[in-house]
Structure 1
Amino acid sequence: MGASTVRWRNPKCNGKLPPGSMGFPLIGETLAFLSANKTLDMPPFVKKRAKKYGPIFRTSLAGRPVVISSDPEFNYYVFQQEGKLVERWYMDSFAKLLHQDAARINGQKNIHKYLRNLILGHFGPEVLKEKMLPKLEDAINQKMHGWSKLSSFELKDKTSAMIFDFTAKELFGYEAEKSCDNFGESFTNFLQGLMSFPINIPGTAYHKCVQVINESLRLGSVAPGILRRTLQDIQVNGYTIPKGWALMVVPAALQLNPNSYEDPLAFNPWRWQTISANVTAKNYIPFGAGMTSCAGADFSKVLMGVFFHVMVTKYRLTTIKGGEVIRSPTLGFEGFHIKVSAKHE
């Protein structure tokens, strides 16, 4: 074993690193992390290593040392330390797509504040309450009416396009029906690139209604993790996470934990009638937590609520052929085709 390999597997640390493996030099454990799987459960990459090493472990992804945490107490602490012990960190792929230096992007805190205020100005609670609800219901009604004329369609593609067209029209006046360019598809491709690692590997690229929504968000943890970067050494459970390391909080590992949710892979909206606030405070983070939680959280829940309301009261849904769940590493649902019919027909 060469000296460089020894150094790779044993990074410098002013204390004891969390257990884990750094994998191979440069590539680390990236291939295993990106490996596609067909399960709604927490990503096998995390589940396997958490079982072996515990809820906090180290690894290396796309050439960067990373500590991955499924510990609810530690994750809650991390979100409260924004700007003190940790900072927002955007993957290197974000910088590469925008042709910018990663350190400069991560260091410009005003960018996040500007974007957050922009989103809240268009989709914040007050706007939703005062004028967004009727516009959203009209848009969904229009889309559902159009879908009812189709023999069948792929659900994910249509709903994704519907959400993009509505938000883009509200943000910058984009009207899909008058455009010859498919911006929705381009945006989807951009997001796939953003959520990937910058490494060239082939194949990598809203009382009952609220319960429905909560359960969907609990099960559907789309992002593989929420990223931060340490601003100084952090002590946890006798281990040290070195300054400058990436830190990944895994929502699925919390929201699919059988110790917090009975039969976690079952879709059971009624579980939310008895779940205490103590459980959700640290084990339910579909939109992140702390000061930098997602600015679009309220809009997302309202959109889901209105969509379900229109669908249940005015239409019936028939499955044409089933799809499958794919994590690679983001959560996706591929090939689920349905037919929508108006109830008066």
Structure 2
Amino acid sequence: MWALFIWVSLLVISITHWVYSWRNPKCKGKLPPGSMGLPLLGETIQFFKPNTTSDIPPFIKERVKKYGSIFKTNLVGRTVIVSADPDLSYFVFQQEGRRFQSWYPDTFTNIFGKNNVGSLHGLMYKYLKSMVLTLFGYDGLKKMLPQVELTANKRLELWSNQESVELKDATASMIFDLTAKKLISHDPDKSSENLRANFVAFIQGLISFPFDIPGTAYHKCLKGRENAMRMLRNMLQERRRKPRKNPIDFFDYVIEEIQKEGTILTEEIALDLMFVLLFASFETTSLALTLAIKFLSDDPEVLKRLTEEHETILRNREDADSGLTWEEYKSMTYTFQFINETARLANIVPAIFRKALIDIKYKDFVNDAHRLYDTSRLGGDGLSTSCTFESKKESTANNASKHFMAFGGGMRFCVGTDFTKLQMAVVLHSLVTKYRWVEIKGGNIVRTPGLQFPNGYHVRLHKKIY
């Protein structure tokens, strides 16, 4: 009897000690206030809880109100320090590779690959970034402008002949086809497999509980990646067997880099890079573009100002039937303000993770070298994310500032930023100058925590008659 009592007592003491240790992580200094939630689960359920706001996510807003703009929590079994402080978030971005480095959970690397660009550091990251900029840099985008406009005009014409078009899926299809052609010369009409369908399955489980069980969204996500990677690997092997004399797309350029003597680029890194580029270039942009059109539907004054800017471009042309020039594109001041504000609210990434490399002291709080920062997206003053479309000066710049971090910041500022803005601006130009639209159904958003249109956004396009 006494032996049983002793064992039960020891068990209770052990569990109590474990729970206390969970709620009070060890630290050489003082950690920010906050709750670690339930053992093992932490506050993961609260983080993934759906919400319909375009304001600060309730998970962040409630904790900022309770603990302040810097707080601790636990997500998917990892202790994190959440920064909703613009100064700290900016500092973290600027210290990439010195005091902090990019880090993502194991579930992320399982999805995007162990050699994905987000998990690489130092020389390899800089090398890959330089490669990508050959496509998405200034010269590449300037050459791409006519093709983007041609694609936008053709798709809008197609949509205007339909009784209803679901904008999220339609814009995703348009952008994916354009991007896949530039990256890998993919033609959906000639391919025996539906590459985009694999990415759709991948996206549906991207931000979900990491249960790799048949039938779950996460399992479908992994299968989508597996199928897409198989297609890319087969394509790479085929091109290595039958190399082309002159590079036609980005994949040709990547294969040339792999074959160079002394290269640091491996096939696995190259394949993970192509996968991430295909995903990032269409899913994030299609979400932002769909939300932009929804915002225009909801705010006639903004639509009027945007339309006036683009109609002025047409009036100032010598040849009314000529295409967009680079100078016209760069003159879209209000359009870029609108895009920046929309991208800030439509960002598919609910948080950006960084790992501290050394002990960091900030405002009397200490972050030890193994703890993680979750620099969550917030608005200009660190609290407001209401969409006013009257962006501050920082929001019109191409680079991140303390008050505008929709595209990240520092050394890892998103290399696809200008490509996203180009596509959005060109589509909006063609849309507002040639068409009007009527909402049919859907358009409501849900964040889980990533942005979704659960019922789609269905509209009817009509050509303008002047």
TM-score by length of 1: 0.88
2:133 maps to what in 1?
A: 120
C-alpha contact 2:340 2:395 (8 A) present in aligned 1: no
Cα deviation digits, residues 65-105 of structure 1 (max 9, x gap): 11111101111111111001100112211222366499x98
Aligned to 2:29: 15
- 1:127 Cα deviation from its structure 2 partner: 1.1
Conserved? CA contact 2:360–2:369, under 8 Å? yes
Asked if 2 retains the 8 angstrom alpha-carbon contact of 1:317 and 1:340, the reply is yes
Output one character per residue of 1:156-181: Cα deviation in whole Å (capped at 9) or x when no partner: 11111211111111001111232343
List per-residue Cα deviations over 1:181-224 (Å, max 9, x = no partner).
Answer: 33223223324444445356967778221222122123323311
The verdict on how the C-alpha distance between 1:101 and 1:25 changes in structure 2, with shifts beyond 3 A counting, is farther
Identity %: 41
**Larger % of helix: which?**
2
Residue in structure 2 matching 1:290, options 404, 407, 410:
410
- Report deviation, 1:28: 0.6
Aligned pairs for 1:15-164 within 5 A: 15-97=29-111, 100=114, 106=119, 109-129=122-142, 131-164=143-176
Structure having the higher strand fraction is: 1
Contact 1:42 1:256 in 2 (8 A): no
* Cα distance in 1, alignment partners of residues 77 and 63 from structure 2: 19
**Secondary structure of the corresponding residue to residue 187 of structure 1:** helix
Aligned-partner SS, 1:324: coil
Alpha-carbon distance in 2 for matches of 1:53, 1:44: 14
Equivalent pairs counted in the alignment come to 335
Give distance in 1, aligned partners of 2:101 and 2:31: 20
SS at match of 1:38: coil
Runs of 4 or more consecutive aligned structure 1 residues displaced over 6 Å after TM superposition? 200-206, 273-277
Paired letter, 1:136: V
Aligned partners of 2:25, 2:450: CA distance in 1, in Å? 28
Partner Cα distance (2:462, 2:100) in 1? 50
User: Which has the higher mean CA deviation after the structures are superposed, 221-230 or 268-277?
Assistant: 268-277
SS at 1:219's partner residue? helix
Q: Which of the two has higher C-alpha Rg?
A: 2
The aligned counterpart of 1:311 is: 431
Alpha-carbon displacement from aligned partner over 1:269-323 (angstroms, at most 9, x marks no partner): 244579798xx72111110011110000011111111010010111221111132
Partner of 1:330: 450
Find the aligned partners of 1:22 and 1:173 in 2 and give their Cα distance. 48
| 2:370 counterpart of 1:239 | no
| Partner SS for 1:240 | strand
The DSSP-based 3-state class of the residue aligned with 1:67 is: strand
Secondary structure of the residue aligned to 2:374 is strand
Partner of 2:183: 171
C-alpha distance in structure 2 between counterparts of 1:127 and 1:109, whole Å: 25
Give a deviation string over 1:17-63, Cα, whole Å, max 9, x none: 11111111111110000011111111110100111000000000111
Paired with 1:89 and 1:193, the residues of 2 have a C-alpha distance of 20
Using the TM superposition, name which of 30-39 and 85-94 deviates more: 85-94
C-alpha distance in 1 between matches for 2:208 and 2:157: 35
Alignment deviations for residues 228-271 of structure 1 (CA, whole Å, 9 cap, x no partner): 111111111111112122211111x235745xx6xx42x43244
Mapping 1:194-205, distance limit 5 Å: 194-196=206-208, 198-199=210-211
Distance across 1 between alignment mates of 2:35 and 2:447:
22
**Structure 1 residues 169 and 294, CA, compared in 2 at 3 Å: closer, same or farther?**
same
Q: Is the 8 A contact 2:97 2:121 kept in 1?
A: no
SS in structure 2 of the partner of residue 178 of structure 1 = coil
Question: 1:64 deviation in Å?
Answer: 0.5
* Contact in 2 for aligned 1:92/1:198 (Cα 8 Å): no
2:370 partner letter? G
Asked if the contact 2:83/2:89 (under 8 Å) is kept, the reply is yes
SS in 1 for 2:401: helix
Measure the CA separation in 1 of the matches of 2:347 and 2:115: 29
SS of 2:186's equivalent in the other structure is coil
Q: Which runs of 5+ in 1 are unaligned?
A: none
Equivalent position amino acid for 1:140 in 2: A
**CA shift at 1:149, angstroms?**
1.7
Contact 1:68 1:247 in 2 (8 A): yes
